[in-house]
Amino acid sequence: MVERHAVHGAGGNRRPSATIYDIARELGLSPSTVSRALNKPGRISAKTEKRIRETAAELGYRSNPMARALPTGRTRMIGLVVSDVTNPVFFRLVRGAEQVCSELGYTLVFAESQESGEIESGTLDRLLPAVDGVVLAAARLDDEQIASIAETKDVVLINRRVGDLAAVVPDIDTGVAEAIGHLAELGHRSLAYVAGPTTSWMSRERGERLFDAAVAHDMTFAEIGPNQPSLEGGEAALRRVRASGATAVLAYNDLMAIGLLRACRREGVDVPRQLSVVGFDDIFGADLTTPSVTTVRSPLDRAGAAAVRELVSTLESRDPEATDPLVTELVVRESTAAPA
């Protein structure tokens, strides 16, 4: 049985939260100076700002973004929506976005769409009123829905392009060329691509680039899909991969590649002697399987960071910082070899 005890008095014995006025009184400064130090770093001397922040910490001050938004219309909160929170591909992306948010004085609010455009739309309906702008990573909405959102809030896309909206898309050509070249050098002449869901822009983009590279190497190419971008989706695709006669398969992402490995082990297919397997993204765990997965690595931490910097530049009406190109690269491991 759960016992509940009444707490007498407003807030019980809890100490009321400190305010900027408490900090100002403590230091003999104006509340506006304290506000600038806490909300707009770099506007006052570094020494004074340090004193204010130290005193704020001692008094237990916590910023209230909703209260701060009343006079300014800004919450200094950024939304990040990903398609599947359980997919390790987003771990580094979220970390990169969070690090830049912290550096620039913003708070990152994280949500997922569960690979559903309908859920993504509902999530954004609830999220958008509370944030200044939003980063959509591997969005499952259609182009018109994304364009409509961009009419009301600043939007930056990751791994997706829609018209002239700001987008961070790593250059996949280098990684694709290296992957196909690697398989060609091993002696493979027939390839299969296990595609992701129909709502994935990046799945279509990877498929097109792989097809072009395969044709350039005079290889046969079969596309198998659509499939769920998960372990189960990869496992379910093995039957069609084998029917295609391909000696090497490239999966839309590493989860699907790992799913293929599991299905191969269960069906007695020797990887890589009977079938070479290549993934995309180089997620955590891709090097822990047996055999470890050859994959096209994508700089997702830098993509998350670049997207937040781009969004903040727009929010603060300043030119975006120059950044190095985001380039993919092949990481060769144990899941590829010459065909038997």
- The Cα 172–Cα 177 span in angstroms is 9
Domain membership flag for residue 320: no
Helices 46-59, 20-27: crossing angle, 10 deg rounding: 120
Q: Higher pLDDT residue, 295 or 112? A: 295
**Structure confidence at residue 1 as a pLDDT band (50, 70, 90):** very low
Q: Tell me the whole-structure pTM to 2 decimals.
A: 0.78
Co-location of 139 and 210 in the same domain: no
Domain membership flag for residue 6: no
CATH number at residue 30: 1.10.260.40
Co-location of 220 and 311 in the same domain: no
Co-location of 232 and 136 in the same domain: no
Q: What is the pLDDT of residue 89?
A: 87
Q: What is the pLDDT of residue 73?
A: 62
Domain membership flag for residue 10: no
Least confident stretch, 18-22, 210-214, 218-222, 274-278: 18-22
Strands (E), the chain: 77-82, 107-112, 133-137, 154-158, 167-168, 190-194, 220-224, 248-251, 276-281, 294-297, 329-331
Domain membership flag for residue 95: yes
Co-location of 141 and 252 in the same domain: no
Domain membership flag for residue 138: yes
Average pLDDT over residues 214-234: 96
DSSP 43: S
pLDDT 10s digits, 162-187: 999 999 999 999 999 999 999 999 99
Co-location of 226 and 132 in the same domain: no
Beta-carbon-side half-sphere exposure of residue 70 (alpha carbons within 13 Å): 4
Domain membership flag for residue 67: no
What's the number of domains the chain is made of?
A: 3
pLDDT 10s digits, 321-335: 777 889 999 999 999
Co-location of 220 and 184 in the same domain: yes
Co-location of 182 and 89 in the same domain: no
Co-location of 202 and 239 in the same domain: yes
Q: What is the pLDDT of residue 283?
A: 94
Q: What is the pLDDT of residue 11?
A: 46
Co-location of 120 and 207 in the same domain: no
Co-location of 179 and 286 in the same domain: yes
Q: What is the pLDDT of residue 9?
A: 43
Average pLDDT over residues 293-302: 96
CATH number at residue 255: 3.40.50.2300
Give all strands of the β-sheet with 220-224 in edge-to-edge order.
220-224, 190-194, 248-251, 276-281, 294-297, 329-331
Domain membership flag for residue 225: yes
Domain membership flag for residue 12: no
Co-location of 183 and 255 in the same domain: yes
Domain residue limits at 110: 75-170+301-315
Domain end point (choices 61, 94, 113): 61
Co-location of 265 and 201 in the same domain: yes
Average pLDDT over residues 262-267: 97
pLDDT 10s digits, 124-171: 988 998 999 999 998 888 999 999 999 989 999 999 999 999 999 999
